[in-house]
Amino acid sequence: MKGQYFLKDKKATIYTRIPSYKDEHGVYRKGGYMPITAAPLWCYARQESQGLKYAAGQLNLNDESRMFVFNNNPHITQTCLILYRGEWYCISRVDTTDDYNGDMFIYVTEAAQGDRPKESEIVPYDPTKL
């Protein structure tokens, strides 16, 4: 069974940055961070092993602390943020499987205080903004 060892028993929310915009009534709306899906996504999450930390060090990505595995989603990019168990993470790299139809391996670093969105910057999900 393909991917059997990746038990996706956890949930994480992925946020993308949206710019300020005018709504359908011409009212100016402030941008912010919006989830890319209406509900949290199922994922596999684990802390980086020493082998992965060594490999990341070869790419000068020494701060990577965690790896997530999500189903393929075209809205997941390196500019997104992940909220997992109350902690914010910045995506440092995204690896896909060879066919781009399987799992996405997301490597993250802990978000610095300045990278974490404020409560007022989080906007509700709206599929028309993606």
Contact 117, 87 (CB under 8 A): no
Domain ranges in the chain?
10-129
Predicted confidence band of residue 1 (pLDDT cuts 50, 70, 90): very low
CATH dotted code for 10-129: 2.40.10.270
Does residue 36 have a pLDDT over 50? yes
Does residue 100 have a pLDDT over 70? no
pTM for this entry: 0.83
Q: Which residues contact 48 (CB under 8 A, 6 or more apart)?
A: 56, 64, 65, 66, 67, 107
- Encoded tokens for 116: 């974490």
CB atoms closer than 10 angstroms to residue 33: 18
Q: What was the pLDDT predicted at 118? A: 94
Q: What was the pLDDT predicted at 43? A: 94
